[in-house]
Amino acid sequence: MKIAFLGLGKMGSGMARNLLHAGHELTVYNRTREKADRLGREGARVAGSPAEACRGCEAAVSMLADDHAVEAMGLAEVLPAGAVHISSSTISTALARRLAATHAGRGQHYVGAPVFGRPEAAEKKTLIVVAAGDAAQIERCRPVFDGIGRQTFIAGGEPWQANAVKLSGNFMLASMLETFAEAYALLRKSGVDPHLFLDVMNALFASPVYANYGRIAADEQFEPAGFALKLGLKDARLVLQTADEAAAPMPLAGVIHDRLLAGLAQGQAEMDWSSIARVAARNAGL
């Protein structure tokens, strides 16, 4: 496919590289030109603007930080008629609905396709893709999904439903981080090595997600961040907004939000979001 890829951060760069290696005709754009130039040296065409990147493309993949960044890209204004915008960014369900309507009004298509996985998963093409939207457009985009991930799930016929899954999934991950944070604080005060506890939990849950995040928190290796705390806070806000839309109370999400907010207030914005373990440790007097 002829693909435009917009947003080459920690996740986007690995995703774009895998699409390039899969044989797609790839044009990349990033506000910081240096990141795009790296892929240019590997064979991608480097664009100087979103409009240039999308010129003549069949699909445009956006992998950006938040609602504001996605809206500022203005893809509906530059995407060719008949092309599809594949939104892999973690955005609000409200924005996803607006984007779907805007693209439809311009004769374009829109598919929600956020992903689960950290930067190393993006590099290794082991992301989990959650897609939603028109069935024909999802099938059209299968080569893109297969190029960036190991498995694709279809959430529904409305693009915003994929974002509901992504936000709920990040809520589950943050809840796990909170439980590790509280348990590790208790164990350290009790004179027990958190790494021993992690071994027990790995035997109990046998989950690579528990193993990975549990190790990061036990080792206190919060930099460089795989997923910054400030982005986790953004997602906590978005899942609470979605809960309001659906009239579905999520009391634990409020706790997670406040824990992440405390981390932000304590200077941890750029640390990995697992650094909420430091917040729990401070509260325990450690």
CA-CA distance, 258 to 79, in Å (whole number)? 39
CATH number of 164-283: 1.10.1040.10
The pLDDT tens digits for 201-245 are 999 999 999 999 999 999 999 999 999 999 999 999 999 999 999
Is residue 224 packed enough to be buried (19+ CB in 10 Å), middle (13-18) or exposed (0-12)? exposed
The pLDDT tens digits for 28-43 are 999 999 999 999 999 9
Is 230 labeled as catalytic in the residue annotation?
Answer: no
Domain segments of the chain: what residues?
2-158, 164-283
pLDDT for position 219: 97
Helix/strand/coil (H/E/C) assignment for every residue in 224-272: CCCCEHHHHHHHHHHHHHHHHHHCCCCHHHHHHHHHHHHHHHCCCCCCE
The pLDDT tens digits for 15-32 are 999 999 999 999 999 999
The pLDDT tens digits for 134-151 are 999 999 999 999 999 999
Mean pLDDT of the 185-195 span = 98
Nearest to 93 by CA among 1, 155, 152: 155
pLDDT for position 128: 98
Global pTM reads 0.96
Average pLDDT, whole number, for the chain? 97
pLDDT for position 9: 96
Do the domains 2-158 and 164-283 sit in the same CATH topology, yes or no? Answer: no
The pLDDT tens digits for 114-126 are 999 999 999 999 9
% of the chain at pLDDT higher than 90:
100
CA-CA distance, 181 to 273, in Å (whole number)? 11
CA 242 to chain centre: 17
pLDDT for position 97: 98
Mean pLDDT of the 95-107 span = 98
Dihedral-angle region of residue 213 (phi above 0 means left; psi in -120 to 50 means alpha; beta otherwise): alpha
Q: Which of 2, 10, 124, 166 is catalytic?
A: 166
Residue 269: pLDDT band by 50, 70, 90 thresholds? very high
CA-CA distance, 78 to 131, in Å (whole number)? 23
pLDDT for position 92: 98
pLDDT for position 115: 98
CA-CA distance, 198 to 82, in Å (whole number)? 50
CATH number of 2-158: 3.40.50.720
Whether the Cβ atoms of residue 155 and residue 162 lie closer than 8 Å to each other: yes
